[in-house]
Amino acid sequence: MPNPELGYMHIGLDDTDSTRQGCTTYIAALLAEKLEKMGAKFLDYPNLIRLNPNVPWKTRGNGALCLRIQYSPDVEEEIKETTIELVEANSDLAWKGTDPGIVFLKTQTIPIDLTAFAKAATTTIVTLKQALDLIKKHHAEALGYNTQRGIIGATAAIGETLQQDHTFELIAYRKPENIGTKRKVDIESIFQMDQKLQPYTFNNVDTEKNRVIITPRGPDPILFGIRGETAETVKQAFSMVKLLESVERWMIFRSNQGTDAHLTHVKNLSDLQPYSSVIAKGTVSQNPHIVPLRHVVFAIKDDMAEVDCAAYEPTGALRKIARELQIGDTIAVYGAVKKSTKTKPLTINLEKIRVIHLAPATQLQNPVCPDCGKHLKSMGKNQGFRCEICKKRYPTAAKSEVAVERELEPGLYVTSTRSQRHLTKPLRRYGLEKQHPTVGNLIENWHS
Ligand SMILES: [Zn+2]
């Protein structure tokens, strides 16, 4: 039960890492341990919030963190100092583009305009000024480094309380001396875990390439992260993975990963905005063609506008589906809206395609010989046809349209696991979406 004598605090963190070192989730894990030692009670798992993946200045996952606690007011200063020390000690401050932000908010419930800001930061572009205005309004405290851009994500992470669909991730961290070396885990045990716990864990393996994808590649401290529907499941999954190097620590996060939180339905193709991610309906208006690097491009249109859609080579299975589309098909496309330099002003980079209705496909066929039933042979343009068997000529015969079967069925198609964004809801999660929060129901031992 909440203790009225204790204070409430939400600590938001963002943008401490670079491509060469660090990970904000690791700082959150270090901080959680120190906060517990100071007697803090966690009101929720640390939240790992993925923000708009199309923000032009972000090349990595764009994830921010929030820790929500109750604490004794006499350790308030110690909590803030510890947070700041940890961020300063573990951020790559010398790296251009690493702009850490820390935000402290001391309210029990999250103001509704902060929640709205979080939604906007997940789906569109928000500004530092908007974040700072909210911080001032709600008497929060913010600390920013370099350009201070991390304050945006730190504020948004506090605002996103994951009241509806959400998932969990257990992240295991490496011993500092192993960072930068090849990750050592038993691959076979990960495939077995995936088999045993499906559909309740997801994005463990890429079945197209027969490859494990829970282990990142960079020089960051993460050994692997296992994503799933509940804290219990990801913990069980962790126990099934055979480790071949020691884990320094592990922690379970609650997250908007795998929920499609970045996607917004747009009614008209004329409403598309660059840097957003959308679900948009239209009719295929230009047949797919393959452009260099094996990307597939086609166009869709509605009454208002026409837009290019691109399935890039790494989308794998989705690219194969895109290739089978044809003019007249009704589809919904899911993906990021990019400014384009090619035939249309905007391009949707596809994450998913829902095939709603397939146009009938026809092929022109040569007429059949009335005598022997064989297909006639053309004698050239406007020259008529001739039967190769009977040798008879049919100067006025014409080709006829014949229905052919489509190599495609209506349904939802998703980009290959290896090219899914953190926020993309994988096929495995359809039907498992949650409508209610699980805040306050921490399992025992949710971190090491
Ligand atoms: Zn014939």
Say yes or no to pLDDT of 259 above 70: yes
pLDDT of residue 382: 83
Write down the pTM of the prediction. Answer: 0.90
Pairing of strands 47-50, 247-255: parallel
400: CA distance to ligand 1 center in Å?
A: 17
405: CA distance to ligand 1 center in Å?
A: 27
399: CA distance to ligand 1 center in Å?
A: 16
Please list all protein residues whose beta carbon sits less than 5 angstroms from ligand 1, which is an ion: 369, 371-372, 387, 389-390
375: CA distance to ligand 1 center in Å?
A: 8
Phi, psi of 130, rounded to the nearest 5 degrees = -60, -40
403: CA distance to ligand 1 center in Å?
A: 23
- Rounded to whole angstroms, the Cα distance separating 385 from 369 reads 9
Q: By three-state DSSP, how is residue 284 classified?
A: strand
394: CA distance to ligand 1 center in Å?
A: 10
- Rounded to whole angstroms, the Cα distance separating 256 from 166 reads 5
- Give the angle subtended at the CA of 351 by the CAs of 347 and 352, to the nearest 5°: 110
Say yes or no to pLDDT of 223 above 60: yes
pLDDT digits (tens, 9 = 90+) for 349-381: 999 999 999 999 888 889 999 888 899 999 888
390: CA distance to ligand 1 center in Å?
A: 4
Say yes or no to pLDDT of 437 above 80: no
pLDDT of residue 440: 63
Q: What angle, rounded to 10 degrees, do the helices at 128-137 and 112-123 form?
A: 170
User: Does the N-terminal peptide bond of residue 199 adopt cis geometry, omega within 30 degrees of 0?
Assistant: yes
Residues shown for the chain: 448
CA-based R_g, the chain, Å: 27
Q: With cut-offs at 50, 70 and 90, classify the pLDDT of residue 58.
A: low
- Residue whose structure tokens are 């569109």: 124
pLDDT of residue 16: 84
Q: With cut-offs at 50, 70 and 90, classify the pLDDT of residue 173.
A: very high
361: CA distance to ligand 1 center in Å?
A: 28
371: CA distance to ligand 1 center in Å?
A: 5
